[in-house]
Amino acid sequence: MASLPLRFKTKHRERTVVVEMDANKLERLASAFGFFNPDFLASLDRAERDIRAGRVRKVSSLRDLRA
């Protein structure tokens, strides 16, 4: 596997991490994760249609899923 040079910036008090990378490297990483897979893209289209149709609800806790 090829190396992926990344730059990390951490803020300990805020508990956040910022990752910087080249746009071409980001595209290569997305491809490795399968984000350009036709099945994945089709599932995104279905999810967007569900959101527009109102078939999605906000969940504040996993306990809400039991109901």
Question: What value does the mean pLDDT take over residues 32-53?
Answer: 96
Q: How far apart are CA 52 and CA 33, in angstroms?
A: 26
Residue 2: the pLDDT is: 62
The pLDDT of residue 40 is 96
pLDDT in tens, 5-38: 778 888 777 778 888 999 998 999 999 999 999 9
pTM for this predicted structure: 0.58
* Local confidence band at 57 (pLDDT 50, 70, 90 cut-offs): confident
